[in-house]
Amino acid sequence: MRRYDGRRVLVTGAGSGIGQGVALRLLEEGARLVAADISESGLAATVDAVPADQRDRLRTRTVDIANPESARAAVSDAVEFLGGLDVLVNAAGILRAAHTHEMPFEDWNKVIGVNLTGTFLMIQSALPHLIDSGHGVIVNFSSTSAFGSNPYMAAYSASKAGVNALTHSIALEYVKKGLRAVNIVPGGISTGITSGLELPADADWTLMARLPGWIEGGALGKPEDIAGVVAMAASDDGRYMTGTELRVDGGALM
């Protein structure tokens, strides 16, 4: 399937996890793509995972999406390499867990700054180019945490709920300019965020009883499970879809 032949794509968080899975899938489908991440070593690992015959369509770019200058420069460089921009995938994100009454103010600001403000900064910089394309698509990442109750994750849940609202606002504001915007809502996916999650030492695990999903007995999903949904939503197959959520959680919120 080659739904992305001729499509110009920028993916953040592409150095690992879901972002990396999305980048690999869209390259496989023919995209010309810039993979952006704060981690140089992560981007190197992404390049290593790309088949040799696809690498001429790939560039990498380090970016701190929470920094306005860095976000603007990353978009500018991507547009220069790609000759424009058709799709922006905002997959970069972080998670910090703590008792809400004990969460350091710095951690709260960091999570909001990356997940919500960083998504906004990338969108703001990319919008003129996406509008110029005539069929621009923004894919943002929310979470089941924005809809369900996740203890010890107040900042993360709040940031992802903010992404939901941001996406709906963007979708309506620019619908007459041919722009689409959708939210992907993953449940438990096997990534660095989930494997590295540290809950408080006295966390009450009975509050964490909801399984990430029912598929394969509640096993965590994989980045490729999300990548296929993104590939559909941002392609012409998703052309009648905007201002909505696509939940991919193995049934966690059934």
Q: What is the pLDDT of residues 233-252, one digit of tens each?
A: 999 999 999 999 999 988 77
For the chain, the 3-state helix, strand and coil shares in percent, each to the nearest 5, are 50, 15, 35
| Amino acid 39: pLDDT | 97
Most confident of 92-101, 145-154, 193-202: 92-101
Please give the structure tokens belonging to residue 212.
């990430």
| Amino acid 11: pLDDT | 98
Domains of the chain: 8-248 (3.40.50.720)
28 pLDDT higher than 70: yes
Higher pLDDT, 65 or 193: 65
In the set 152, 156, 174, 240, the catalytic residue is 156
Angle subtended at Cα 41 by Cα 223 and Cα 33, rounded to the nearest 5 degrees? 60
| Amino acid 78: pLDDT | 98
Please give the structure tokens belonging to residue 123.
């969108």
For residue 248, give the H/E element and its range: strand 244-248
| Amino acid 193: pLDDT | 67
Closest to 137 measured CA to CA, from 240, 14, 61? 240
- pLDDT, mean of residues 222-240: 95
164 pLDDT higher than 70: yes
Sign of CA dihedral 212, 11, 246, 7: negative
Query: What is the C-alpha separation between 46 and 50, in angstroms, rounded?
Result: 7
| Amino acid 249: pLDDT | 84
* Cβ atoms < 10 Å from Cβ of 128: 12
Q: Tokens 């996890």 appear where? A: 17
- pLDDT, mean of residues 131-160: 93
| Amino acid 210: pLDDT | 56
Report in angstroms the alpha-carbon separations of 220 from 87, 126, 173, 188. Answer: 27, 32, 36, 5
Angle subtended at Cα 184 by Cα 121 and Cα 32, rounded to the nearest 5 degrees? 65
Q: Are strands 87-90 and 58-62 parallel, antiparallel or unpaired?
A: unpaired
| Amino acid 195: pLDDT | 59
Closest to 46 measured CA to CA, from 26, 69, 75? 26
174 has catalytic annotation: no
| Amino acid 127: pLDDT | 98
Helix (H/G/I), strand (E/B), else coil: 222: coil
Q: One-letter amino acid identity for 59?
A: R
Residue 149: how many CA atoms within 13 Å on its side-chain side?
Answer: 5
Secondary structure of 86-108 in the HEC alphabet?
CEEEECCCCCCCCCHHHCCHHHH
